[in-house]
Amino acid sequence: MSDVFILLSFAFAIVGLVLMIGRFKVHPVFVLFVVVAVLSLMFGQGGAGTVSLINEGFGNTLANVGLLIVFGCVLGKALEISGGALRITQSVEKMLGTKRKMPWGIALASTIIGIPLIADTTVIMLIPIVSAMAYRSKESMMKFGPILYIGAYVMTSLVVPGAGPLAAAGVLGLDFGVSIMYGLLVGLPGIAVATFYLTRIKTYVAPKAEFIESIAKAEQAEQEQREGGSGTTKTLTAQNGGVGRTLALSPFTGLPVRLGFALLPIYLPISLIMIDSLLGPTLPEGSFIQELVGFVGAPIMALAIGVLSTLPLFGGAWRRKEIVNGMFEDGLRTAAMPLALTGVGGALALLIRETGVAERMSVVIQDVGIPPLVVPFLVAAAICTITGSNILGMLTASAIMAPLIDDLGVSALAVYLACGTGAQIFKHANSSGFWVTTTLSNMTVGQGIRSIGVASIISGVTGFAIVLVLYYAGLI
């Protein structure tokens, strides 16, 4: 079988995949499955070999990251329904509440909350309080809405336990602690530069009318309480998304959510994973402390501990089985799509490795002289731009590159970061996050492109520039 036939078949298959998902809106899991099956048959694997390849690639990949995706989604759902995410946002607003600092406060809150939560959920959950901030400061929602989105969006593209980063790191065989550290190193400057761009926007867009009405009701209730009114502030503030000035209240206890409890589920698992990555190799071999650090720092155990650490946010209500069951059921519903995509993406990576596509692609890349990291960046960017999915962009690019790493002489970490920065480009009208943010921020499509679309390009390009600097400096 000639090299030209194999490479052209693979190229046409990827183009077909992108068109079927982006143009014809066929479900990506089904399209990926069909692409893997057809290519495997075309490349001579046979019927039994194709079934075996799909099962092996799917199973091995999910064996590494399946439970991580589940626990990550459950953790995010727990922060959402308990009021923990809202409490973090209100604390940042209080800390950076001046008009000049307010955009950076929103970016900080979005960045923190975007580690466990997807960007769409972050916007839906926090847009009432961000609208209140815009209303009180007379600032434009064309600034504040996209800033709220971009922080979470970059984190879900680069930092575990985001579904895309988990999938890419699993396919590439990358240490999760290392991926977290460098994901933050690359992602935070991208958020900062994109936020700076958004703060320069001059077009004024008012918050949506329903949010303004909610703000007025909440502030009226607070005024009544200050004047010795009926004490309805708790009810009204909670009902209106916490847009008043009182602290976020737990829907389970009726009391203010404690900030420490809200932050713990985010930073405890990340800290445990990083401690194991940094200190584990330096500890005495076979010692109790090394065993302990290795156990609690294993990503699957660290995220499980993170899920358990959300229980204090529910007060005594966590003892009711319907609370814990509901939290897991909601999280599992969120995890279903990333799990299926990750598994089929693992099958694609195995196909590329087993059928000789990897060796042929590496020869072409070296002969043409393309810088190795440009390939995953452009593949992820193209797929994200066409399909609207950063998860699919990261997964496809990492699946293509995983078998090429040794031949091209690049590290798994460098490829991971190139995939994560490329997958940020470019959010527009084919993305659910674009529509959620544009609609809830009261923007037109054109305003959304100028704000969200351009900011996503800026964050991705900024991050990739840092990746190139680190790569050519020999640091990754």
pLDDT digits (tens, 9 = 90+) for 81-122: 888 888 887 887 788 767 788 999 999 989 998 888 888 888
pLDDT at 470 over 80: yes
Count of helices and strands (H, E) across the chain = 23, 0
pTM of the model: 0.80
pLDDT at 157 over 90: yes
In this prediction, residue 231 has a pLDDT band, given cuts at 50, 70 and 90, of: very low
Torsion of CA 62, 63, 68, 69, to 10 degrees: 10
In this prediction, residue 472 has a pLDDT band, given cuts at 50, 70 and 90, of: very high
- pLDDT, average across residues 232-249: 47
Q: Which residue has the higher pLDDT, 333 or 365?
A: 333
* CA dist list (Å): 184 to 76, 179, 423: 18, 8, 15
In this prediction, residue 161 has a pLDDT band, given cuts at 50, 70 and 90, of: confident
Residues 315-354: pLDDT tens digits? 887 788 888 888 899 888 888 888 888 888 888 888 888 8
pLDDT at 199 over 60: yes
pLDDT at 305 over 90: yes
- pLDDT, average across residues 8-25: 85
Phi, psi of 249 (to 5 degrees): -105, 140
* Lowest pLDDT segment from 19-23, 70-74, 210-214, 310-314: 210-214
pLDDT at 233: 36
In this prediction, residue 242 has a pLDDT band, given cuts at 50, 70 and 90, of: very low
In this prediction, residue 48 has a pLDDT band, given cuts at 50, 70 and 90, of: very high
Residue 8 tokens, joined: 């052209």
Residue 69 tokens, joined: 């995706």
Cβ atoms of residues 399 and 445 within 8 Å: no
pLDDT at 239: 41
Phi, psi of 228 (to 5 degrees): 85, 30
Rounded to an integer, what distance in angstroms lies between the CA atom of residue 326 and that of residue 324?
5
Angle at Cα 204 formed by Cα 203 and Cα 209, nearest 5°? 145
- pLDDT, average across residues 355-359: 78
pLDDT at 240: 43
What is the average pLDDT value for the chain, to the nearest integer? Answer: 85
Rounded to an integer, what distance in angstroms lies between the CA atom of residue 158 and that of residue 178?
12
Which candidate, 131, 112, 109, places its Cα nearest to that of 241?
131
